[in-house]
Structure 1
Amino acid sequence: MKQLLISLALLLSFQFSFSQITVEPPSEGKSVIYFIRTASPGPLMNFKFFDKDEYLGRFNGVNYFRYECEPGKHLFWVKSENFDFVEADLKAGGVYFLEVKGRLGAISAASKFFLVDYEDEKQMKRITKVFNKAEGVVMDQEELNEKYDKIKDRLPQTMRQIQVSRTKRPNKVKRITQDMTYSIKE
């Protein structure tokens, strides 16, 4: 009986914490994607985020940021000492999550995107924990412009590397489709 009560309490607490993700829906006719960094080996390592050749910002540690954009096709990528990317086709009114993890390498941290399966309890527990503990990163437009000016000359090289990866291994490309939306709980 005691085990049953403990199990029930844990289940209810998980359900309660799972339902606590509060996201802001997109503006009319727009889409939103949340970049969520759930693990932080190398917590001081900044990950830089892009939508094709548009610099979206950077942050370190366990946190997230919200990016509102036009619906349609996008190429999101993250850069640290390496890069990873995901192709996305977003629908108007859709809210999407993309998990980002860091991994310590021999010399520095590497970044990697993971598609979110909203039915995967372990993954959603990690994501919920971030939303419950972090305030979210807000990108300052002036800082974004300054940083973009410093890195814009290197963007074509990375875009070529991404295109080579897309061509060489088309079956390994991660994709977010229009139906992979997060259901906002009212």
Structure 2
Amino acid sequence: MKKIFLFVVLLFSVVNYSQELKKPNEGKALVYFVRSSSVGFLINFKYFDGDKFLGKFNHGSYLIYECDPGKHVFWARSENTSFIEAELESGKVYIVDSEPKMGAIKAAVRLVPFDTNPEHYKTPKKFERKKKNILESILKNKEYTISNEDLEEAKKEYESIIKKSTEKYNKLKGKGEEFVQVLPEMYYNN
């Protein structure tokens, strides 16, 4: 009886990591913004593509953003601003993790692309752990969506933040700052 109970418990505790992620529409790319860590779980991070507000959410949600392929500057805002440059290919799915960091008043954010090449991790175990955490944050949580009405309202609300952050990015870029990259080959293959 104990063996059967243990088997049932194990069976239901296994998450199906082979579940496929959504695919982009023809001629588009798809980016998943996730929060795989629960640190600072109540703090909303705000997400942008250049001067376009994408949404805000805390731990327990993720955002799917369909966009044109090519170059993008994604950034997230909390106590700080984290920038990431992307070169996206048509028909591909990319994943960006939003890592919370200790801040002075609230959690800071750091955007980190999910590198799908296991050779870029110190050990295969670290790659598998990262992949598991990323996929769990998608499969166990809910997709964040924003209505067009709320999107328009937020656009006005964040107008000054967008202006200041865009100026900050351009200034840093002008000084030779190098940003984390989402490379075309970093796409997630179901």
TM-score scaled by length of structure 2: 0.82
1:144 corresponds to = 151
Amino acid paired to 1:176: V
In structure 2, distance between residues paired with 1:116 and 1:153: 30
Runs of 4+ in 1 over 4 A off after TM superposition: none
2:17 corresponds to = 18
1:49 corresponds to = 47
Percent of aligned pairs sharing the same letter:
35
| Cα distance, 1:17 vs structure 2 | 3.6
Alignment partner for residue 171 of structure 2, among 122, 140, 164? 164
1:83 corresponds to = 81
The answer as to whether partners of 1:87 and 1:175 remain within 8 angstroms in 2 is: yes
Q: Does 1:153 align with 2:152?
A: no
| Cα distance, 1:49 vs structure 2 | 0.3
For each residue in 1:127-174, what CA deviation from the matched residue of structure 2 results, as whole angstroms up to 9, or x when unmatched? 12112211211122211110111111332111111122233353x411
The answer as to whether partners of 2:75 and 2:84 remain within 8 angstroms in 1 is: yes
Residues 175, 87 of structure 1: alpha-carbon distance in 2 compared, 3 angstrom cutoff = same
What does 1:95-174 correspond to in 2, within 5 Å? 95-118=93-116, 119=118, 120-170=127-177, 172-174=178-180
Alignment partner for residue 30 of structure 1, among 24, 28, 40? 28
How many residues were matched structurally?
170
Unpaired runs of at least 5, structure 2: 1-9, 119-126
- Please, what is the CA RMSD of the aligned residues? 1.9
Alignment partner for residue 37 of structure 2, among 23, 39, 42? 39
TM-score scaled by length of structure 1: 0.84
Amino acid paired to 1:56: L
